[in-house]
């Protein structure tokens, strides 16, 4: 047998195993043949591409949707510069961030220099005085804006034309729930601090893995709370049902979010200057908002009842 033939056979084996792995990852039935799996994988990526392209197209008609996270981050950054200054140094960051809801560039920072974060001091200490007051105000404002933002995502995904009144209506109705949700996530994040103190780097890695798994399994939590008008804990259990009913497109959307955040984190943290952060905010918020809208499209396409 010639080397070329051996190479072709090896390539086919690798291709078949990769396709089977992708098929399992995209929760395809194992009784599908390898050829059908090839077709399904391709169709899935085409559908995801259409969904993301649809989201970007919808943003061009609803540009104010992008302004909410942009203005929030810009205001937070400017106030942080005034109160604590810009700090930190350039570094290579290999970061996987999977956030749902109101986008914020702080999710990809290794050194948080926004007021909307809790730690905005180079020593790692909690801010005091005016800075602490600003942090608390931005926490409240963030909950209000996130409630209205997800409400607008919901309306746009249903092909409605929302207005400022729509935003205010959603924000007033859900901001307390999002404040409670943020408090729950903050308390849970304290577990990461405890594990880091107890087990050092192993504890940090363990917490990040646990957090990422839970974030994926309950990825529809925030959207369920708004789109189905549920309380925090009711939406929590309901979002798990939606995850069990998930379609193959969800995996590709999650990967798209992770890859986009990975690339953004690598660039921004490596070119760490105030100018880079300032320029990156609108770019990041634009891409992140489109991916959030794609996720909302995906959520609304799910069946409302458990699938047997």
Q: Would you state the pLDDT for residue 192?
A: 81
Of residues 235, 245, 216, 236, the one with CA closest to residue 98? 216
Question: Residue 99 contacts by C-beta under 8 Å, 6 or more apart in sequence?
Answer: 107, 257, 261, 288
Query: Does the pLDDT at position 172 exceed 90?
Result: yes
Average pLDDT of 37-44? 52
The count of C-alpha atoms lying within 13 angstroms of the C-alpha of 38, restricted to the half-sphere facing its C-beta, is 7
* Confidence class for position 64, pLDDT limits 50, 70, 90: confident
For the stretch 268-297, pLDDT in tens is 999 999 999 999 999 999 999 999 999 999
Give the N- to C-terminal CA distance of the chain in Å, as an integer: 49
CA separation (Å) from 281 to 12, 92, 122, 188, 261? 44, 19, 21, 27, 13
Q: Which residue has the tokens 């986008």?
A: 103
Q: Would you state the pLDDT for residue 307?
A: 59
Cα–Cα dist 113/292, whole Å: 24
Q: Would you state the pLDDT for residue 19?
A: 47
Average pLDDT taken over every residue of the chain = 82
Average pLDDT of 254-266? 94
Question: Is residue 101 a contact partner of residue 146, using CB atoms and an 8 Å limit?
Answer: yes
Query: Does the pLDDT at position 175 exceed 60?
Result: yes
CA angle 147, 149, 155 (to 5 degrees): 105
Long-range residue pairs from 154-157, CB within 8 A, at least 24 positions apart, any chain: 154/223, 154/226, 154/227, 154/296, 154/300, 156/58, 156/62, 156/65, 156/293, 156/296, 157/58, 157/293, 157/296, 157/297, 157/300
For the stretch 106-139, pLDDT in tens is 999 988 888 876 554 445 444 556 667 777 888 9
The DSSP result for 203-232, as a single string, is: HHHHHHHHHHHHHHHTTTHHHHHHHTT--H
Cα–Cα dist 114/119, whole Å: 9
Cα–Cα dist 186/182, whole Å: 6
Q: Would you state the pLDDT for residue 120?
A: 45
Cα–Cα dist 26/251, whole Å: 6
pTM beyond cutoff 0.75: yes
SS3 content of the chain, % helix, strand, coil (to 5): 75, 0, 25
Cα–Cα dist 141/300, whole Å: 27
For the stretch 74-108, pLDDT in tens is 999 998 888 878 888 999 888 889 999 999 999 99
């Amino acid at each position: 047998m010639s080397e070329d033939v051996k190479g072709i056979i090896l390539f086919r084996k690798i291709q078949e195993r990769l396709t089977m792995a992708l098929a399992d990852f995209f929760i395809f039935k194992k009784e599908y043949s390898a050829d059908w799996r090839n077709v399904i994988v391709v169709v899935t990526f085409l559908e995801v591409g259409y969904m993301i392209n649809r989201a970007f197209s919808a943003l061009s008609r609803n540009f104010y949707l992008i302004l909410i996270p942009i203005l929030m981050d810009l205001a937070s950054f400017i106030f942080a510069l005034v109160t604590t200054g810009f700090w930190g140094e350039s570094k290579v960051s290999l970061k996987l961030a999977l956030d749902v809801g109101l986008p914020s560039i702080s999710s990809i920072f290794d050194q948080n220099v926004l007021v909307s974060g809790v730690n905005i001091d180079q020593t790692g200490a909690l801010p005091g005085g005016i800075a602490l007051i600003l942090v608390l105000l931005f926490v409240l404002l963030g909950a209000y804006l996130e409630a209205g933002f997800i409400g607008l995502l919901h309306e746009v995904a249903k092909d409605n034309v929302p207005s400022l009144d729509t935003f205010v209506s959603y924000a007033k109705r859900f901001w307390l729930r999002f404040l409670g949700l943020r408090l729950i996530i903050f308390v849970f994040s304290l577990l990461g601090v405890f594990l880091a103190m107890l087990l050092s780097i192993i504890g940090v890695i363990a917490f990040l893995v646990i957090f990422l798994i839970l974030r994926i399994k309950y990825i529809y939590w925030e959207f369920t709370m708004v789109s189905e008008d549920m309380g925090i804990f009711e939406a929590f259990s309901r979002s798990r049902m939606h995850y069990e009913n998930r379609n193959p497109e969800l995996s590709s959307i999650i990967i798209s979010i992770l890859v986009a955040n990975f690339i953004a984190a690598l660039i921004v943290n490596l070119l760490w200057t105030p100018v880079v952060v300032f320029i990156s905010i609108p770019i990041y918020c634009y891409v992140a908002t489109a991916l959030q809208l794609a996720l909302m499209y995906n959520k609304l396409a799910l069946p409302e009842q458990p699938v047997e």
